Copies of this chain bind each other. A is one copy, B any other.
Amino acid sequence: MQTSPLLESLMESLRCLPGVGPKSAQRMAFQLLQRDRSGGMRLAQSLTRAMSEIGHCRDCRTFTEEEVCTICSNQRRQNSGQICVVESPADIHAIEQTGQFAGRYFVLMGHLSPLDGIGPNDIGLDRLEERLASEKVNEVILATNPTVEGDATANFIAEMCGMYGVMASRIAHGVPVGGELEMVDGTTLSHSLAGRQQIKF
């Protein structure tokens, strides 16, 4: 828009959002300017606060603005002795929706990927090991994605659990192989949680 450098810069900035090309950026900018300036201002404020204040939970690494998230600091969840390991914070959301899990989580923020140079410490396994060593953990439920990398990561963590005498289990297949955990419907996910199998070596 040669009539407005500010509009041009807004359209350019909107393209940092995944799935937003030039046409959608234009549509978004016009929509906000013509019909929803207060929505645009609210979005700006949410973005500023979220980008600067949201960090990672000290215990589970999920996104939170607290030092320890509300799930990790919940006494009843601590008492369950279960830790569910997932690849991303979105997976916590998907599992919470099933209502089938009352323990705590550990978020890898990815998976092992030696070819990309992503090793155990890059996905926080040093912190998970500390927890296995210091907390009373009865079971680690491995809910990484049912992909090659997710399976390999689950196996790696299962071995680690073995060293600390902690039972490791893998959620049942039933989630479509090759898919992404967060896209699975709640029923399938419930079944795969209920049908989890202990990993034995």
Chain B residues whose C-beta falls within 8 Å of the C-beta of A42 in the assembled complex: 13, 16
Tell me the count of chain A residues lying within 8 A, CB to CB, of chain B: 59
| A47 CB, min distance to chain B CBs, angstroms | 4
Compute how far the CA of A146 lies from the CA of B57 in the bound complex, rounded to whole angstroms: 55
Choice from B24, B32, B109 contacting A34 with Cβ under 8 Å: B109
Interface pair A39/B16, CB less than 8 Å apart: yes
Query: Which chain B residue has the least Cβ–Cβ distance from A3?
Result: B69
Query: Which label, helix, strand, loop or mixed, suits the secondary structure of the A interface?
Result: helix
Chain B residues whose C-beta falls within 8 Å of the C-beta of A57 in the assembled complex: 3
With A6-B49, A33-B50, A88-B30 as contacts: A43 and B64 at CB distance below 8 Å: no
* Between-chain CB contacts (< 8 Å), 26 pairs: A1-B63, A1-B93, A2-B70, A4-B54, A4-B63, A4-B65, A6-B46, A6-B49, A10-B49, A16-B39, A17-B17, A17-B28, A18-B27, A18-B28, A19-B24, A26-B93, A30-B90, A33-B54, A37-B51, A40-B47, A40-B50, A43-B44, A43-B47, A44-B44, A44-B45, A44-B51
